[in-house]
Amino acid sequence: MIISPKIRGFICTTAHPEGCEAHVRDQIDYVRSQPLIENCPKKVLVIGSSTGYGLASRIVPAFAGEADTLGVFFERPPSENKPASAGWYNSAAFETAAKAEGLYARSINGDAYSDQIKELTVNEIKASMGQVDCVIYSLASPRRTDPEDGQIYKSCLKPIGTTYTQKTVNTDKAEVEEIVIEPATDEEINQTVKVMGGEDWERWIDALSDGGVLAPSVITAAYSYVGPELTWSVYKDGTIGQAKIHLQETCERINEKLSASGGKAYISVNKAVVTQASSAIPVVPLYISVLFKKMKEEGIHEDCIEQIRRLFGDHFTDTPSVDESGRIRIDDWEMRDDVQKYVAEAWEQISTDNLKDISDFSGYQKNFMRLFGFGIEGVDYGTDTDPVRSIDLVE
Ligand code: NAD
């Protein structure tokens, strides 16, 4: 079939298998262009491994450290007449490339919040890897079924306490608009913390620890974001920010649990990048467009793969350098004074008329399309392609 992009708001409902493969290959090529990472973790479990930061967290240890990797994700498989989701194609491409290097690379497709998937993961690690020395928790989800009470919780992206009015970009129309978001109710805050807070990360670490599959000196990390003041109402100080505070508190608890054996838990604060998750956050796509303009001009532009290469290369081989709250900060270049000064000034002026001049909106759009395997050089989108790509899943 010919597969074309079908965009619905902030999501593309189709994905291109060869395009996704090329996107994964580009990331592998980047990692290969960098030095190998000495003392890189060798047996890595990535929870949320099919797209964005989680995918990069699988590619980097595999191709810079010859690590065996087990990935957990929730993706739509293909059928004869319907393409799979991008994360499926990404994972198929990753596994093919990793296996060609003689590495162990297998995946589990299912609800990471469930006890069943945790049990399957523990059993697979026991059978194939023995123990893991690194666990990356990179889930981004709009909902979670809590295995303890069976209830479905939904996350939302809202301010707390006051109404938030800010500029945003309508990505379909390429227009700068104003968005008004009403504050979250207490129930919405609690539900967002249930989904995106640390409860599930801790349940994972407990399950892996009880199963005896954590190496004594295991390192585990979950990802967070801070960003500039202009996004704080909807991010850092909003519902998702409360979830990230819970993640940070959980990190401290996990550290206490792991300390006896020599294990460590970290929060890594990553930079804003275009992913399926970040595209859904109001205001953030416009902020990212402005940010990319300056970071590209300064030669410090990074996507997930460059960020995670720095995380593993600069922080996971020795004792990581951390901020006053104990967090790893690979958002350091994003938060540089000159970068944020540009963003603040451009933000004051930005409108539909100058969107393409003072921001890198076209770069944002290209990046978004690449998430789904579209707009990639060398891929012939006019030729029939077989949507079926298989993954040798652990079941
Ligand atoms: P993403 O949407 O690209 O990836 C989410 C991953 O979670 C995918 O692999 C998906 O399959 C998996 N997933 C979702 N629900 C699942 C479920 N129920 N079971 C199993 N897997 C499931 O997201 P991302 O932007 O890479 O975000 C990952 C983390 O990084 C999040 O904690 C996010 O807050 C953080 N972060 C993102 C940014 C950014 O700009 N994108 C910046 C800093 C931190």
pLDDT score of 286: 97
Superfamily covering domain 7-147+189-283+303-331: NAD(P)-binding Rossmann-like Domain (3.40.50.720)
What average pLDDT score do residues 300-323 get? 96
- C-beta of residue 154 within 8 angstroms of C-beta of residue 64: no
Q: How much of the chain exceeds pLDDT 70, in percent? A: 100
- Residue 269's pLDDT is what? 98
* Beta carbons of 54 and 73 less than 8 angstroms apart: yes
> Which ligand 1 atom sits nearest the alpha carbon of residue 331?
43
Residues with CB under 6 A from ligand 1: 48-54, 72-75, 87, 111-113, 138-141, 223-225, 270, 272-273, 275-278
pLDDT in tens, 220-279: 999 999 999 999 999 999 999 999 999 999 999 999 999 999 999 999 999 999 999 999
Are 391 and 88 in contact, with CB atoms under 8 Å apart?
yes
Q: Does the pLDDT of residue 32 top 90, yes or no?
A: yes
**Can you say whether the dihedral through the CA atoms of 201, 203, 206, 212 is positive or negative?**
negative
pLDDT band at 9 (very low <50, low <70, confident <90, very high): confident
- CA–CA gap between residue 362 and residue 36 (Å, rounded): 33
* Nearest residue (CA) to ligand 1, atom 29: 138
Predicted pLDDT at 329:
98
Q: Which residue's alpha carbon is at the smallest distance from atom 12 of ligand 1? A: 48
Lookup result for tokens 């026991």: 126
Q: Is 342 a catalytic residue?
A: no
Separation of CA 353 and ligand 1 centre (Å): 33
Residue 116 pLDDT grade (very low, low, confident, very high; cuts 50, 70, 90): very high
- pLDDT, mean of residues 333-345: 98
Residue 318 has pLDDT above 90, yes or no: no
Flag whether pLDDT at 317 surpasses 90.
Answer: no
Of 234, 275, 330, 334, the residue with max ligand 1 atoms within 8 A of its CB, to mutate for a pocket test, comes to 275
**Catalytic residue selected from 89, 235, 266, 342:** 235
Q: Is 342's pLDDT higher than 90?
A: yes
User: Tokens representing 178?
Assistant: 């104003």
Q: Long-range contacts made by residues 182-185, C-beta under 8 angstroms, separation at least 24? A: 182/158, 183/158, 183/159, 184/156, 184/158, 184/159, 184/160, 184/238, 184/239
Residue carrying structure tokens 């739509």: 76
List the beta strands (DSSP E) in the chain. Answer: 7-8, 11-12, 43-47, 68-73, 105-109, 132-137, 143-145, 152-154, 164-170, 175-181, 214-224, 264-269, 328-329
pLDDT value at position 48? 98
How many CB atoms neighbour CB 219 within 10 A?
Answer: 21
In the predicted model, is pLDDT for residue 374 greater than 90? yes
Using CA atoms, how far residue 81 sits from 2, 48, 92, 214, in Å, is: 10, 26, 18, 41
Instruction: Tell me: pLDDT of 10 over 90.
Output: no
Helix axes 239-259, 186-196, angle to 10 degrees: 40
As to burial, measured by CB atoms within 10 angstroms (0-12 exposed, 13-18 middle, 19+ buried), residue 321 is exposed
Mean pLDDT of 148-160: 97
- Proportion of the chain above pLDDT 90, given as a percent: 97
Give the span between the Cα atoms of 222 and 43, in whole angstroms.
17
Report how far Cα 137 is from the mean position of its chain's Cα atoms.
9
Q: Is the pLDDT of residue 111 over 90?
A: yes
